[in-house]
Amino acid sequence: MKNGSYVDYLFGVATGWLGWPPDTAWHTPIPHIMLALDARLDWTGRGQAQGQAAAAKPPTRQGVAEKLKSFLRGRPKQ
């Protein structure tokens, strides 16, 4: 991460994008923050290209785990 740590980034996501109070952000596990961020992006429509419909299939446990692993490695899955 440039100019900061991954923890700083996640704290910013939790308090900024998700609007959580600082105490909640510090005590929430990383996977929960990432799932909440994905849900927020889907809800606002920023998680998909404009003009395209969202996929109808629900995420699988394996898919969420792979997505989290690739994000933590710094290589977001396309």
Per-residue pLDDT tens digits for 7-23: 888 899 999 989 999 99
- Domain range for 68 is 6-47+56-72
| Helix ranges (DSSP H) in the chain | 6-12, 22-27, 30-44, 61-72
Residue 35 included in any domain: yes
**Model confidence at 3: pLDDT above 70:** no
Q: Does 62 reside within a domain?
A: yes
- Contact between residue 48 and residue 54 where contact means Cβ atoms under 8 Å apart: yes
Distance CA 15, CA 6 (A): 14
pTM over the 0.75 mark: no
Within-domain flag for 78: no
Q: What is the pLDDT of residue 62?
A: 74
Report if residue 1 sits inside a domain. Answer: no
Contact between residue 17 and residue 2 where contact means Cβ atoms under 8 Å apart: no
Looking at the structure of the chain, the number of domains it has is: 1
pLDDT tens per residue, range 23-73: 999 999 999 999 998 888 888 776 555 445 555 566 677 777 787 777 777
Inside any domain, residue 21: yes
| Residue 37 belongs to some domain of the structure | yes
